[in-house]
């Protein structure tokens, strides 16, 4: 679990229906203020300022 401020550098995945509910399988990379990069599966997050997403 991460807390604090991070910059989103990549978000990739898919959205589908699973057991009658919307399901997102998402991979994320983000960096902290010391330029360290973290990545993995995204299960839950809050965006505090703005988030721009392109869905194809």
CATH of the domain at 17: 3.30.1330.80
Give 10-32 pLDDT, tens digit per residue: 999 999 999 999 999 999 999 99
Whole-angstrom Cα distance, residue 46 to residue 3? 10
Q: How many domains does the chain have?
A: 1
The token duo for 13 is 């995945």
Residue with tokens 């509910």: 21
- Give the pLDDT score at 49: 79
- The band of 1, judged by pLDDT with boundaries at 50, 70 and 90, is confident
Model pLDDT, residue 34:
95
DSSP 30-47: EE-TT--EEEEE------
Q: With contact defined as beta carbons under 8 Å apart, do 12 and 39 qualify?
A: no
- The mean pLDDT of 40-55, rounded to a whole number, is 84
pLDDT at 39: 96
Strands 7-18 and 21-31: antiparallel
Range of the domain at 12: 1-56
What pLDDT was estimated at residue 51?
A: 80
């Amino acid at each position: 679990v991460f807390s604090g401020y991070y910059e989103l550098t990549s978000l990739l995945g898919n959205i589908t229906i699973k057991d009658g509910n919307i399901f997102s399988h998402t991979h994320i990379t983000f960096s902290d203020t010391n330029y360290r990069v973290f990545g993995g599966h995204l299960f839950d997050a809050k965006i505090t300022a703005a988030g721009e997403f392109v869905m194809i």
